[in-house]
Amino acid sequence: MPRVGTIRIEKVHKKNIEKLTYSEVVNIVDGQVLGGRDGLKNTLNRFVIGAMTIDAMKKYISPGNLLIVGNREEAHRLALENGSAVLITGGFGCSDEVKDIADKQKLPIITSSYDTFTIATMINKAISERLVKKEIILVEDVMNTNPVFLHTYDTVKQWKTAMETTGHTKFPILNDKERLVGIVTAKDLESHIKDNDALSKVMTKDPITVTEKTSVAYAAHLMVWDSLELIPVVENKNLKGIISRSDVIKTLQSASRQPHVSETFEDMMVKDFSFEYTSEGVKFEGKVIPEMYSSVGAANASSLTMLMSIACTIALKQKNHNIYVDSFTIHFIKPIPVDTNITILATVIGSGRNYAKVDISMFDGSGGLCSKGMMSAKIMKKK
């Protein structure tokens, strides 16, 4: 009987999404603070639209909320007395008594000239943008925060001992002020180097570094283009951690298998497209959506380029490659009018140790060739 079981996929753990503060809400809605300024730095849990009677409103109001309502003083008072801030729509104000309650409770009361629907849309958009940013994996999410390091005054013999005890061959080098000044790898261990030589003589000075807020995608780009196995993570030259090539590959592979919380423009473009793998690539089929059209009524070049790039990437991922685009050449042969069904064929025509090439063609519903291109990409592999 064949062995059966489950496969555990390790998730990339992300920090909680940063919540909106009342101060940020003021900026989003171009508002004016009428009272309760001391509470502007507090975060809001959710916003409630007060389109109901006062009695019905009570059960929806709780501490940390933001009540969006018009010029209804009873609602303003109810919200503040129950720990909720207030956003008044339509540019209306409030009484001095309500302002005093807001100041006493340290709960902001804000006014904006926009209507309720527009304000809700603006706040939703701000939250959506934060969700997109949350999905961007940063170096701080995957880095090793307790790396083994050596100092400039340490010797080659101590380095060899560190390699034997840790199993690592690459180490950041710090000076006597605990600042990063270099890095040593097995490549630096040449035959003429003596055991009593100081690491300051053999290290690679001024190594490429990243910060904690650098995206993992950019760190991967540096590793591919500069053939790096390890990158120190620094802040003002102080070592915060390290990120390795294996960490990056593992993270990218894990992230590609996880669902997205929010919808990016790329997601919106391809959600109505279907694809199927071919023996040498992928076939992409679907209809060009209205958001992709230019003012002249034809699909714009940037959207079509993105679609073709997505098809090429999927074709290469079928080969289990983590890739970074090196060059992309496209020839647009004829415009694509409104409501046209298109087919994109991406074929991997060459795949070596470090590079891959994909031939890409786009056809309209009648089979006519609309554009033709070629993508060249670098492949990221564990060394």
Tens of pLDDT along 105-161? 999 999 999 999 999 888 888 877 766 665 678 898 889 999 999 999 999 899 889
Per-residue model confidence (pLDDT) at position 290? 78
Output phi, psi for 301, to 5 deg: -65, -35
- Helix, strand, coil distribution of the chain in percent, nearest 5: 35, 30, 40
Residue with tokens 């993508």: 375
Which residues, including other chains, have CB under 8 Å from residue 156's CB and lie 6 or more apart?
A: 189, 193, 194, 195, 196, 197, 199, 202
CA nearest 182: which of 205, 162, 200, 163? 205
Look at the pTM and tell me if it is higher than 0.75: no
What CATH class has 22-134? Answer: alpha beta
**What's the chain's length in residues?**
383
With a CB cutoff of 8 Å and minimum separation 6, the contacts of 1 are none
What is the rounded CA–CA span in Å between residue 225 and residue 45?
43
CATH homologous superfamily of domain 262-380? Hotdog Thioesterase (3.10.129.10)
- Between the alpha carbon of residue 339 and those of residues 107, 160, 274, 291, 369, the distances in Å are 51, 66, 16, 11, 17
* CATH class, 140-253 region: alpha beta
| Spatial contact of 128 and 262, defined as CB atoms under 8 Å apart | yes
Residue 35 confidence (pLDDT):
93
Determine the Cα–Cα distance for residues 380 and 131; give it in Å rounded to an integer: 28
286, burial (CB in 10 Å: exposed 0-12, middle 13-18, buried 19+): middle
Q: Is the dihedral angle over the CA atoms 31, 32, 36, 40 positive or is it negative?
A: positive
Q: State the residue for tokens 């790039």.
A: 309
Task: Give the model's pLDDT for residue 131.
Answer: 62
Instruction: Transcribe 279-332 into DSSP letters.
Output: SSEEEEEEE--GGGB-TTSSB-HHHHHHHHHHHHHHHHHTTT-EEEEEEEEEEE
Beta bridge partners of 171: 184
* Residue in this structure with the two tokens 């053999």, named with its chain if needed: 202
pLDDT in tens, the chain (383 residues): 333 333 333 444 444 445 788 998 998 899 999 999 999 999 888 888 988 888 888 888 989 899 999 999 999 999 999 999 999 999 999 999 999 999 999 999 999 999 999 998 888 888 777 666 656 788 988 899 999 999 999 998 998 898 888 888 889 999 988 899 999 988 877 766 888 888 988 888 889 899 998 888 888 878 877 778 899 999 988 999 999 888 887 777 665 554 444 455 566 677 778 888 888 888 989 888 777 877 777 888 888 888 898 888 888 877 666 677 888 999 999 988 877 899 999 999 888 777 889 999 999 988 999 999 999 988 766 55
Rg, C-alpha atoms of the chain: 28
Q: Which pLDDT belongs to residue 255?
A: 58
pLDDT of the residue at 253 = 64
- Residue 221 is given by DSSP the state H
Predicted local distance difference test score (pLDDT) of residue 219: 86
Q: Judge whether 137 and 220 are in contact, CB under 8 Å.
A: no
What is residue 175's predicted lDDT score, i.e. its pLDDT? Answer: 92
Query: Side-chain half-sphere of 234: how many Cα atoms within 13 Å?
Result: 21
Where do the structural domains in the chain lie, given as residue ranges? 22-134, 140-253, 262-380
For 274, phi then psi, to 5°, come to -115, 150
Residue found by looking up tokens 């701080």 in the block:
140
